[in-house]
Each structure stands twice: as C-alpha cells, then as structure tokens.
Amino acid sequence: MIAPSQIDMRSRILGLDHEVPLLDGRRVPYVNLDNAASTPPLIDVVRAIEAFMPYYSSVHRGTGFKSRLSTVAYDQAHEIIGRFVGADLSTNTVIFGKNTTEAINKLAWRFPHDPDKVIITTQLEHHSNDLPWRAHANALHVRALPDGRLDEAHFDQLLEQYAGRIALVTVTGASNVSGFLQPIHRLARKAHAAGALILADVAQLAPHRRVDMLPDDDPEHLDFVTLSAHKMYAPYGTGALVGPKEFFLREAPEYRGGGTVDVVTLDEVKWAGMPDRDEAGSPNVVGAVAMAVAAKVLMEVGMEAVAAHEEHLIAYALERLRDVPGIHIYGETDPARAHEKVGVIPFTLEGMSHFLTAAILGYEGGIGVRSGCFCAHPYVVHLLHLDEGEATRWRDQLVAGDKSEMPGMVRASFGCYNNTDDIDRLVEMLHRIARRDYQGDYILDRATGEYRPRGFEEPLGEYFLLEELRRPTKG
C-alpha cells in the first residue's frame, strides 16, 4: 500500500465538526461519503463569499463602485477557471452556467448537426453526457469491458468504421459510477487524427486530478471541457464550459436576451463577443466567484498531492471492504491499482437491497452515501451483468411507478478531506449490516425505492428549515 500523504484538508472544510442525529438518539459527527454527488464547501470559499457579498452588484454596465468591483471579480473568475483547466484564453473562452448538465446541453444545441455525421460517446457516461447527444445527433456508444473499463479497441473500431463522418468524441474524464480514469488525451489524439473534435466531461475528474487542456496545436489537446463547482467544494450553483472562441462565434446563441447583444434595432441584432453572448441574463456572479476561489485553493494545495492522498484512501478502503461478509465491489478491486481511478467505490451486500443498505448507513451510522444507478443506467446495468429479461422487467416496473426492485448499487465516494477514520466507520457499519445487526424497522416506499425507519421523525427543525414542516392529517 502506498504511504499516506501529508495534506490535511479537514480544517478547510465547513461543517465537519457538526453532529447529526441517529435513530437511537445519539448524535455523531457526519461522515460524508457522497462526494461524487456534491462536495461540502471549503471554508475559504464561504469566507470569500461573505467578504464579497456586501459589494455584490450587477456586472459589466453598472457605473457604481460595487458594479465595477463585481465586474472585475466576475472577469477574474473566468480567467482563474481557464487557468485551472490549462486553457489558452487567447483562443478559448470560459462560459459560466448552472452546472455541467447545462454546459453539455449548450454545446449539443450549438454543435452543427449534419445528418451524415456521427457523434461518438461511451457506455460509461453520465446521462448528462449522453442524452443531449441522442436528442441532437446520431450518437454511437463505445462499449464498456466486463470490468467496467472503456473498450478502447471498440473505440478504434468505430473511428475506422465511420472515418470521415465523426464530428465529435465526447467522453467522461472519470466515471461517477466506477471511478475509472479515462485516457482522455490518448482518445483526443485518436479523435483528431480522425478529423473529430473532443469534449471531456471533467466534472468528476477535476476535484481529484489535474486537468490540462494542453496547447491548441497539441495533438492531445482537449477541444472542450465541462465542469461543476458543486463537485469541487463550491456549492453555489455554477458550472463552466471551456472551448474555442471561434466555435461559439459562428452562430447566434441558443439563449437570447439581456447581455448577449451589442446592438439591437427592429430589423437586426449584433451579438456580443465571448463569453457575453453565451451568458444570457444576469449571471450567477456569486457562484462564479465561489468556483474560482475553490479552483485557486485546489491549485494551491496541488492536484498531485490531492491525487496521492485519495489514492491512499482508495487502496485502504479496498483492503478493508473486502473483509466485509457478502460484499461485492464493482469495477477495480485491487488496492495496487488504486491509481487507475478516483475515489469512487460501488458495492452491494448479498441479500440486501442497495436502498436499504444506504438507509441504514444514514439513519444508524451517520454516514452519507448514494444508492441507485447514479444517473448512468446503461453503465450500471452493464456492471451488474443483468440480462435483457431482467432489464426489461425492472424497466416495466419503473414505468408503472414502482422503484422497489430497481437494480443498483451503494456508492461510497471520497474527497480530499476524507480520512481513514471515515472508512473505518463505513466498514464497521457494513459489518453490522452484513450480520443483520441493525435497530430500525425499515418501511419501503415502493414509489421511490427508499427505506425509512418506522415511527422515526428526524428533528430537522433543530438544524435548518425554511419553515415548519406540514404533517399529514388523518381522516
């Protein structure tokens, strides 16, 4: 096993000392192992926003001091995110939006869709890097190997089969299900040789590994990248799309209105330059500032140090988890190959619903995980090795509004602040669950697939609510 790193990010994460209530009445520090969904905020980010908020104002056309300051901060945020992903901002632009999903949809809308052209994506993708392309283009899917890795031989086959017709290759930098790292730069070289551009969805990669688009003239250059702040310790509602200015200047933006224009008459429109033309309406300045601060912190800490720390955690977790009776770990299980993935470990327990396992971890262990298919249904079905009959049966059930037997896994995912104590808490609880040593009488909601302990009312109001919860009335 590799040696643990020396970085300590726990003091820089908000809320790690906050306790949460358990079913038995105890309160314990929360263990967040759901970082692949969203990460907690950096204290640096929260403090920066607190410092910025008294001066927050409109950007780009306000003449007052606060507007001028907000404009500078917003413009600097573009530059910092560009630097974070290694973009040449003389030729590329950073476009802020809500999240990676919006960024990919924006690109899908703007991409020139020739019916004779195809777009190559993969079976490993999050729905956000799959469904937009299905809607707008002839999308082909590269297969996954039985263990969940990309079938690069199949990728090469598609490149050869559709030579001259491939407009874009779009691929995740790291799987949100298995954690597998993709060889995005090698795929970029192959895509460019085939005359195609490449998009790397680095939402899951960017908090864990250094992202480098490389110079525009490098054969392994990434033409587009997308990423989200809420996965990199800045949950203030912002994502980014980075790509060549000239691409976006070819056509009018898909969202039109405030801020996207230089001149409007009753007869014509002159669109603004980049990125203004693609950031319609009043932008989320606060979110952009937060994302930029998070990027600066990660660059300061060093992504190599983050990667080393998380590699140690992955190896440690894989070693500890394999001793849990009845556990099945999907994807990579060898601690010696921890460097081939980010901190995502999907698993199931024999004879236990993944929904129930996750519920017990939360209600009785104070451990946050995710269960289900993680917005990647085809990939999860592949990893579970479901045959067509099984897949058809559960699809029919879902359509009928019954999620109780929805296939899936439990996903534990690590961030740069997690430690071996967090993993020990997880393993201890899984041992308890495996031997059916849990307290609650869990009731299944068939419509959602969720399990809740009978008679337990969480004291949410002691922590935070916008208003008092309305309890259902009898009769």
Q: How many residues does the chain have?
A: 475
Instruction: At 120, list the tokens.
Output: 């190559």
How far is the C-alpha of 127 from the C-alpha of 101, rounded, in Å? 9
Listed residue (182, 422, 439) closest to 314, CA to CA: 422
Q: Is 230 exposed, middle or buried (0-12, 13-18, 19+ CB in 10 A)?
A: buried
Q: Name the β-bridge partners of 97.
A: 239
Q: What is the DSSP string of 62-75?
A: --SHHHHHHHHHHH
What residues form DSSP beta bridges with 270?
263
Backbone CA torsion sign across 455, 460, 466, 468: positive
- List, in sequence order, every beta strand (DSSP E) within 229-343: 239-244, 261-264, 269-271, 327-329
Give the C-alpha separation, 450 to 444, whole Å: 6
For the chain, state the CA radius of gyration.
23
Give 328-333 contacts, CB < 8 A, sequence gap 24+. Answer: 330/148, 330/177, 330/178, 330/383, 330/384, 330/409, 331/147, 331/148, 331/175, 331/177, 331/178, 331/179, 331/180, 331/383, 332/147, 332/148, 332/178, 332/179, 332/180
- What phi and psi values does residue 379 have, to the nearest 5 degrees? -70, -45
Looking at 375, 383, 409, 433, which residue is catalytic?
A: 375
Positions of E strands within 90-174: 92-97, 118-122, 139-142, 166-172
171 Cβ contact partners less than 8 Å away, ≥ 6 residues apart? 121, 122, 124, 125, 129, 142, 150, 182, 184, 187, 198, 199, 200, 201
Residue 416 among the catalytic residues: no
Contacts of 9 (CB under 8 A, 6+ apart): 301, 309, 415, 416, 417
- Please state, in angstroms and as integers, the Cα–Cα distance from residue 296 to each residue in 48, 76, 161, 241, following that order: 12, 11, 43, 18
Q: Which residues are catalytic?
A: 375
